[in-house]
Amino acid sequence: MYRGRLERDLSLWVGKGLLGEETAGALLAEYDGRPASFSLGRVLMALAAVLLAAAVLLVVASNWEAIPRLVRVGAILALIWAVHIAAALMLARGAAAAAGGLLVIGAMSFGGAISLVGQMYHLSGDEQTVMYLWFAIATISAILFRSGAVVVVAGFLSWASFAVYLENHDTHWIGLDPWMAPVMAVIVIALVRYTGAARARHLAYLLLIGWLAWLYTLYEEIAVALAFAVGGMAGVVLTALPHPRIAPLVRSAGAAPAFYSFLVAAIGFLLLHVEIEQGWRLVVLGLATLAAAVLAIALHGRNNGAVRYLAYTTFAAEMLYLASVTVGSILGTSSLFLFSGLVVALVAWIVIRLERRFSANSREARA
């Protein structure tokens, strides 16, 4: 998709005399020479690693009753050492895909080893502690081998750890364990930046959003939903600021920070709608939701398609909801749409003026 758009843009620039044909061809050739973001071989290697790791875990779960304890422990430790040594050799040869698959097997085998030792020697502890230890080992492996594949494993282990807590405690805050979910998410994001496994950052963001949704189930108060809406919109504005320290960090993270910030805000507005069902507060809430969607489009709509489409959806859903709930006549509905249309038109006029001014300033700076 991007290559086709790039080729069309290069052809357009060549046609306008902005770029030479040789330069355009060299740029396209340079792009074609980059490693593909999607590789069927890597995907199949990752699937094979997952299947082999699952086989190891199932063998461990069977408890190998007929095999002596020391032999069992020695076998699982030998497997862990073997796959990591083989991964190091593969990395030295430049076979990153095979090394990633071996490291996935190694990270999963660590969990099997922990479970095996625990069940054989009846060590005290619970599932939560096992998940923390497993996540810590995966984190160390990701750092030592700078492996994006192991970062993905760590991301899913953070999900599993939070799931274990929910299974054991449901909607109760017990000790410091609930804080581990956001801590693990931050660790995964740090690993993403260290290893360059950009897609794995979504695992951390989704874990944070799930944790926030769980927080609302603990209290179910308007203040919590309002905090989501205000905090999410603050993130939307913050990620749009051209601050010399903030802007480079946001750009390096791609479209994710702005999108997930607005997603948190949209969830907050949705929860507020659950709490507020009628009266003037509902009208104010509806207008605030529409304004938030327009603001998100104004700040990020040009360069962030994910935010743009989420804002479109939020705006359309809110308009339909207000029309169906707060208005009882066709005349009233038309008045609502007229007022909203005038407000959006005014915002659009302001945004267009600002874009023209920014464009003129950038041309003067280049001159």
This prediction has a pTM of 0.74
More confident residue, 178 or 34: 178
Tokens read off for 54: 């699952």
Q: Measuring CA to CA, how many Å separate 249 from each of 242, 245, 246? A: 11, 7, 5
Query: How many CB atoms sit inside 10 A of residue 8's CB?
Result: 10
Q: At what angle do helices 2-15 and 21-32 cross, to 10 degrees?
A: 170
Q: Is the pLDDT of residue 221 over 60?
A: yes
Q: What is the mean pLDDT of residues 295-303?
A: 82
Tokens read off for 16: 């306008």
Residues 6+ apart with CB under 8 A from 23: none
In contact, 181 and 158? CB cutoff 8 Å: yes
Is residue 196 left, alpha or beta, with left meaning phi > 0 and alpha meaning psi from -120 to 50? Answer: left
pLDDT band (50, 70, 90) for residue 38:
very low
Helix residue ranges per DSSP H, the chain: 2-15, 21-32, 40-61, 69-92, 96-121, 127-145, 148-169, 180-195, 201-219, 222-238, 246-252, 256-275, 280-300, 305-325, 330-366
Q: What is the mean pLDDT of residues 52-65?
A: 63
Closest CA to 102 of 177, 37, 52: 52
In contact, 286 and 326? CB cutoff 8 Å: yes
Q: Is the pLDDT of residue 230 over 50?
A: yes
Q: Rounded to whole angstroms, how far apart are CA atoms 220 and 5?
A: 46
Closest CA to 165 of 188, 181, 153: 181
Per-residue pLDDT, 266:
92
Q: Measuring CA to CA, how many Å separate 100 from each of 45, 93, 187, 190, 352? A: 8, 13, 20, 19, 48
Per-residue pLDDT, 347:
64
Tokens read off for 316: 């359309």
The four Cα atoms 324, 330, 334, 335 give a dihedral, to 10 degrees, of: -90
User: pLDDT tens digits, residue range 72-126?
Assistant: 777 777 878 888 888 888 888 877 778 888 888 888 888 777 776 666 555 555 7
